Amino acid sequence: MNQQTKYWNVDNIVDGLEDYPQIQEAAELLRRNELIAFPTETVYGLGGNGMEDETVEKIYTAKGRPSDNPLILHIADRMQLDELVSEVPPLGEALMEAFWPGPLTLVFPKKSGVAMRASAGLDTVAIRMPDHPLALALIQAARLPIAAPSANLSGRPSPTTAQHVLEDLDGRIAGVLDGGPTGIGVESTVVDITGDVPMILRPGGITAEQIAEITGEVAIDPGILSEEAAPKSPGMKYRHYAPQGQMWLVRGDTIEEMTKSIRNAARRAVEEGKKVGILATKETFREYDGEYTVITCGERRDLISVARRLYDVLRQFDQESVDVIFAETFPEGGVGTAIMNRLTKAAGGHYL
Ligand code: TXA
Ligand code: MG
């Protein structure tokens, strides 16, 4: 597993992407069952031919990912769906119409007779059409459904830049297309549409509120936010996005109470000789005066900016080798649900 990882910078290219030699070369490697990392609107994906079991196996190996965790197949047009699913439930039709291309993954009944390592033995298959010109051009040029988990080593924060991808996977994959930092910063929302009511299995870029506007009703897997109930989506049961330092989430009835609790905890930790990290926001970072590594993660009044910065901030704490991280918490609802889901996982469910 030591190969030369090619690097193509395709940031700032806009028109006729499919014709660019970098895209052609990357697509050709995908057709030859090599692994290529590419940007999507959420996070960078580690792509491989989703129809080839051995290639999918290579994805699991490159990431060090548990192999009972199924992958999302990425497509570039509706036609590709027919080869993969046995039916499109009416719920699916409406959601695709509203949100594709976009950060919404739908779990469909899988077409029978299609053996797929990517869906890890389930009779369903997760599919999404990413809203990123580079991703779409690559999939189109490869003419394949592309299996793509986030392009990080298992247990590391998902990558939101090509640099993050190389930190984790340099030498383990055939290439990476650099399209600049991703926009949304947290992964797609995964929704099971095989039942009567859509069920959110993983909160993400499309919010429950947006889905309810289309479908009327929406259910949320109770396993998503609590550490007790077992989540329905195989991938949610693993401790994801774990920073190297122990992370504690800090609540408070008001922002002032929250920042005060963090100040107290941080002071005690420093007294114990620990190197302390604090995940703060633009509105609050000035509250933490001391020997701390304070990193600002967006603005509280614009949670989209928090989501965009989150994984990069978690990686920065690792780089700073902090022993303990105290993280501010955010209101649930909207993209706040996805932010708190990822933070809860990173902290292993630990609240101060
Ligand atoms: O934004 C994203 O979705 C990114 C980019 C690269 O597209 N991809 C991504 O993939 O996050 P991954 O493999 O890290 O997460 C896939 C999630 C896992 O939680 C997995 O368990 C769930 O989707 N999943 C996949 N197939 C499923 C299925 N058939 N039923 C239920 N959950 C499924
Ligand atoms: Mg992932």
Relative to the alpha carbon of 157, which ligand is closest?
Answer: 2
What would the DSSP string read from start to end of 112-175?
A: TT---GGGTT-SEEEEE----HHHHHHHHHHTS-EE--BSS-TTSPPPSSHHHHHHHHTTTSSE
Tell me how far the alpha carbon of residue 270 lies from the centroid of ligand 2, in angstroms.
33
Give the strand pairing for 104-109 and 189-192: parallel
Q: For atom 13 of ligand 1, which residue has the closest CA?
A: 149
- Give me 73's structure tokens: 């197949």
Q: How far is ligand 2, taken at its centre, from the CA of residue 240, in Å? A: 8
Distance 158 CA to ligand 2 centre (A): 6
pTM of the model: 0.94
Mutate to test the pocket of ligand 1, among 233, 240, 241 (most ligand atoms within 8 A of CB): 233
Q: How many angstroms is it from 63 CA to the middle of ligand 1?
A: 14
Residue 236 in contact with ligand 1 by CB distance below 6 A: yes
Regions in the chain scoring below 50 on pLDDT: none
pLDDT at 240: 62
Q: How many helices (H) and strands (E) does the chain have?
A: 9, 15
308 CA from centroid of ligand 2 (Å): 15
Residue 227 is predicted with a pLDDT of 52
Residue nearest to atom 14 of ligand 1 (CA): 149
Q: What is the DSSP letter of 85?
A: B
Q: Is 43 in the pocket of ligand 1 (CB under 6 A)?
A: yes
Mapped onto helix, strand or coil, the DSSP state of residue 94 is: helix
The closest alpha carbon to 297, from 136, 173, 127, 160, belongs to 160
Q: Which residues, including other chains, have CB under 8 Å from residue 237's CB and lie 6 or more apart? A: 223, 230, 231
